[in-house]
Structure 1
Amino acid sequence: MRLRAALLATALTTTPVMAAMATTITGPYVDIGGGYDLTQTQHMHSYDGQAVKENESQAGIPGLPASNAAFLDQTMQQDTNSAAHARERMHHGAGWTGFASFGWGFGNGLRAEVEGAYNWSETTRYTTTSYGGGHGKTDGADRSYGGFVNVLYDIDLKRLFGIDVPVTPFIGVGAGYLWQTVNDATPIANSIMNVHHNGTNGSFAYQGIVGAAYDIPGVPGLQMTTEYRMIGQVESFNNGNLGQTVINANNQPVTDHDSIRYDHRFNHQFIVGVRYAFNNAPPPPPPAPAIVPPAPTAARTYLVFFDWDGAALTGRSREIVAEAAQASTHVQTTRIEVNGYTDNTSAHPGPRGEKYNLGLSMRRADSVKAELIRDGVPANAIDIHGYGEAHPLVATGPDTREPQNRRVEIILH
């Protein structure tokens, strides 16, 4: 039940919360954390021998009732005759764990770190096949401490899967060495004996890590982490200070110290931590978008030229009018202005010449308007004007034939 509750708590704490963009570590970092430790029931084997102290009789121990002495004598004699190899179990209760590490991120998701760890666990119950199948509630604790070298990988969800969330999951493995220290006592055999476990030894250890990191908004490089770790110690080892003591008035031992061997040990840990990366400069800004020059826009003014004293369109003039009509459909045009002009010569010299040229400029404008209409331009979109000799394109002396002044201007508004 404790394991299921702890797994549920970890699932809740790893629910993504909105924060800054997820970060992949590059360069040095430090990490600390702590949380709940659950140690699985641990198997043990003791090589008892359980010889009654030489020349000592249990019945002669002051303060021990004769019935208890007889019970001890019987059970110890049975174990001695069978060269007892007791099979034992130690059950564990609530515990806690803490660690600190220093590491390096390679910028591609991979990290390597060195870690120091400490684990404490309450011992709650001891059972044994010795002493007629003894068991009892245990008072004490065991602890393990040591170090690991870990290799981890940060999973960039946005880069790998296109998921833009402010969390970076990670996985890892580690290998190292842990020392285990035990110190507890359990009353057994009708509560007339105490079995003491006491000693320290070490073994190779390994761990698997699954977790997630969350950037803390407004503090570059600082992250909160949640993790699950499974730690195993694969090598059995002997814990050499094991004794059984008769509880009597003089608190005298009735057996020699025995040797006990602990089997594979497993710790399940649920951890909350804080991590800080030192190289936390913001990423370089994205490159500026390439400047694409705007597409050339269609001309808004077109010039159509005429022969002297003529208003008829030439082949080239019709092409220019057609270009203007086509352009009016590609640009935002609200009005087309058609203005006719002449040079300062006239087929009717004298006072009538200027009036004649004014009419000639209107005929030229009418010719261009008619051609625009044939090219699909609505007639109500066209305004025409005749300016005669006014507004020459090229300045000339009086009575000068200038081809560029004999023109019509098409202006798109």
Structure 2
Amino acid sequence: MRQKILACAAVGLGVLSATSLGHAAPKGPFVGIMGGANFTDDQDISGTGVGINRSVDTDTGWAVLPSIGYRYGNGVRTELELGYRTNDVDSLSGAVGGSGELTAKSVMLNLLYDFNIGGRVSPYIGAGAGYAQVDYDSVAPVGAGRIDDEENVFAYQGIAGLSYWLNNSVELAAEYRYFATQDPDFRTSAGVPVEGEYNSHAALIGFRINFGAPAAAEPAPVAPAPAPAPAPVAEPEPPALPRNFIVFFDWDRSDITAEADAILRDAVAYAQQHGAVRISATGHADRSGSDEYNMKLSMRRAKAVESHVIASGIAASEISIAAKGEREPLVPTEDGVREPQNRRVEIILE
């Protein structure tokens, strides 16, 4: 028991010590649910009397864990979790066969940390503590009777998982949990006091819905300034160059959206009409990934614009591209924030 408590404490310390490594998840509340297979270790029953000391072996059971929580914007999140775990008894040592069911209903407060490794995948670890109602339902044979009793006891757990972000709000998750409690005290149907155990391993899948994601709508492109009216006797002046255009991108994407396509068509038409001899395209990214990842992502965005402009009739020799990563944000933010206006390519006509 002591070793198990130390193991969970070590996981908790790992969560706290990792809080300086960065994050990619949005700040704000979330709800989620996990479910899957539940496996118990052999649970020892101990007491005084003939046939009392048994080891309970169970079949594979199931677990479901709904939760509600909050992300703090620095990788740390807390959650309040309800749990239901159940396994049928397969056999009891020293007896022919066995019957009954082991169930644990829990309320846990968890502390977790999401690691930012760039992109949509995010590993996480965590630990939790709370209370559980451990129920030995008609577990037999134990002595001259059975155990049909329950007790509320302290519970703790360790968590390790991997999440995949479908978009700014929804993430899928797969995780492992070790869950254990203090040894519950029961009485058999014959009135004999006994001590039981409860600990389990769970392999779970599920999802979380996050309510702190930024708005998906991109800002409207900057409209061209009107050309000044010519003087009555002077020759008409062409609109001045250089001229800037900006196209925006979805989070962690480099494909050209319908809105970006319309802006690029305007830029190409403007360049052909007014005789631009050079077009430069500079890619940028927000601060939700690592610096190395964002540099590569911003280059992919610049290359996507280059390909689109060439396909629209501009010679490849007239285009130059560059990447700035997250180093020149349009809107300054803290590290890890997903800011739509920083996911862009700036186009300058010269």
What is the TM-score when the length of structure 2 is the normalising length? 0.53
Partner of 1:268 in structure 2?
Answer: 201
Q: Distance in 2 between matches of 1:107 and 1:283?
A: 18
Is residue 2:208 matched to residue 1:258?
Answer: no
Given candidates 100, 103, 113, the residue that maps to 1:143 is 103
In the TM superposition, what is the alpha-carbon distance from 1:282 to its structure 2 partner?
4.8
Partner of 2:32 in structure 1?
Answer: 31
Question: Which has the higher Rg, Structure 1 or Structure 2?
Answer: 1
CA deviations 1:237-277 (Å, max 9, x no partner) are 2112x13xxxxxxxxxxxx43111114x3210010111000
Contact 2:24 2:75 in 1 (8 A): no
Given candidates 135, 140, 146, the residue that maps to 1:186 is 140
In the TM superposition, what is the alpha-carbon distance from 1:25 to its structure 2 partner?
3.0
Partner of 2:69 in structure 1?
Answer: 103
Contact 2:89 2:139 in 1 (8 A): no
SS of aligned partner of 2:213: coil
Q: Distance in 2 between matches of 1:166 and 1:43?
A: 43
Q: Distance in 2 between matches of 1:230 and 1:207?
A: 5
Partner of 2:180 in structure 1?
Answer: 232
Contact 2:63 2:86 in 1 (8 A): yes
Once the two structures are superposed, the pairs formed by residues 7-406 of structure 1 within 5 Å of their partners are: 23-48=24-49, 79=50, 86-127=52-93, 134-158=94-118, 165-186=119-140, 195-217=145-167, 220-233=168-181, 235-240=182-187, 242-243=188-189, 256-263=190-197, 265-282=198-215
Q: Distance in 2 between matches of 1:284 and 1:168?
A: 25
For structure 2, the residue ranges without an aligned partner over 5 or more in a row are 1-22, 222-240, 243-350
Partner of 2:342 in structure 1?
Answer: none
The 10-residue stretch of structure 1 (177-186 or 140-149) with the greater mean CA deviation from structure 2 = 177-186
Change beyond 3 A, Cα 1:283–1:111:
farther
Contact 1:120 1:141 in 2 (8 A): yes
Q: Which amino acid aligns with 1:166?
A: R
Q: Which amino acid aligns with 1:39?
A: T
Moved over 3 A (4+): 185-188, 282-286
Contact 1:138 1:184 in 2 (8 A): no
Q: Distance in 2 between matches of 1:277 and 1:203?
A: 32
Q: Which amino acid aligns with 1:120?
A: T
Give the alignment's Cα RMSD to 1 decimal. Answer: 2.8
How many residues of Structure 1 are paired with residues of Structure 2 in the alignment? 201
For structure 1, the residue ranges without an aligned partner over 5 or more in a row are 1-21, 49-78, 128-133, 159-164, 244-255, 295-413
Q: Which amino acid aligns with 2:203?
A: F
Q: Distance in 1 between matches of 2:218 and 2:86?
A: 48
CA deviations 1:309-351 (Å, max 9, x no partner) are xxxxxxxxxxxxxxxxxxxxxxxxxxxxxxxxxxxxxxxxxxx
Q: Which amino acid aligns with 2:172?
A: M
Q: Distance in 2 between matches of 1:151 and 1:109?
A: 11
Contact 2:34 2:206 in 1 (8 A): yes
SS of aligned partner of 1:175: strand
Change beyond 3 A, Cα 1:226–1:44:
same
What is the TM-score when the length of structure 1 is the normalising length? 0.45
Q: Distance in 2 between matches of 1:187 and 1:204?
A: 27
In the TM superposition, what is the alpha-carbon distance from 1:33 to its structure 2 partner?
1.2
Q: Distance in 2 between matches of 1:276 and 1:205?
A: 26
